[in-house]
Structure 1
C-alpha cells in the first residue's frame, strides 16, 4: 500500500511531511511557480518567507531546499535585470527566454526533489 503523502520512487527518502517547515517549502515552491505570470512579484514574497524561516530550517533536512529557493531567486533576479537592460540590443530577449526556461527547471526540480524526500 502506498503512502498518499509521498509518491513512491524506489529510492530511500526522508519523511519531510512530518517536518513543520514542509508546508513552508511547498508554499514557496508554489509562489515561485506563480512568479512568471506575476512578473516576479510572487517570487519576492517567497524569498521573504525563506529569509524569515531560514533560522528554523538550520540543520534540518529541508535546509537545502531553503538554499535552493533563495539562490533561484537571486540568480533569477540578476539575469532578469541583465536581460531587461539588454532587450534593446535584441540579446536581452534571448536572455529572458533562457531565464524563463532555467527558472521553470529550478522550480520543478526542487519540487520533485521535495516530493521524493531528497535535496534538490
Structure 2
C-alpha cells in the first residue's frame, strides 16, 4: 500500500480545498443513531448513496466507508438483538456501539486531514 500513485489518488490536491461538511454530517448522523435507534443512521446512509461519486477519489472512499459502516453495523446490531434472548446480546451491543464510535472518529479524523480512510474494506476499524 505504499504505492505513490495509490496514495496520491486518495489525498487532496495541494492548494485545493474540498468541502467536507456533508460527510461530517453523515458521520454525526451515524453516531446519533446510537440514541435514535438507527433512524438517523438510515438518513445518513441515504445521503452517502446520493452524494458518492460527486467528489475526488478520497472523498468517495469516505462515502464507501460510510455505506459499509452502515451495512456492517446492521449486521452487528442485528446479531446483538438476537443474542439479547440469551443475555449475551447486551455485551455484544456495547461492543457494536464501541466499534461504531471508533470507526466514525477515525473516519472524521481522516476526513479532516483530507485523506481517505485507512482501509475502506475492513470489517473492524
Question: Same fold by TM-score, threshold 0.5 exceeded?
Answer: yes
Work out the CA distance in 1 between the residues paired with 2:27 and 2:74.
Answer: 16
Superposition RMSD on alpha carbons, in Å?
2.0
SS in 2 for 1:19: coil
Residue 26 of structure 2: aligned partner? 28
The 5-angstrom pairing of residues 8-19 of structure 1 reads 14=12, 18-19=17-18
Counterpart-to-counterpart distance in 2, 1:25 and 1:15: 18
- 1:1-120 correspondence to structure 2 within 5 Å: 14=12, 18-20=17-19, 22-57=20-55, 60-120=57-117
List structure 1 segments (4+ residues) > 2 angstroms apart after TM superposition: 13-20
SS in 1 for 2:54: helix
Distance between the aligned counterparts of 2:104 and 2:43, measured in 1?
A: 15
Structure 1: unaligned runs, 5 residues or longer: 1-12
Q: TM-score, normalised by structure 1?
A: 0.79
**What is the TM-score with the length of structure 2 in the denominator?**
0.76
Matched length: 106
Q: Determine if contact 1:15/1:117 at 8 Å carries over to the other structure.
A: no
Distance in 2 (alpha carbons) for counterparts of 1:79 and 1:32: 14
Gaps of 5+ in 2: 1-10, 118-125
Q: Secondary structure at the match of 1:32?
A: helix
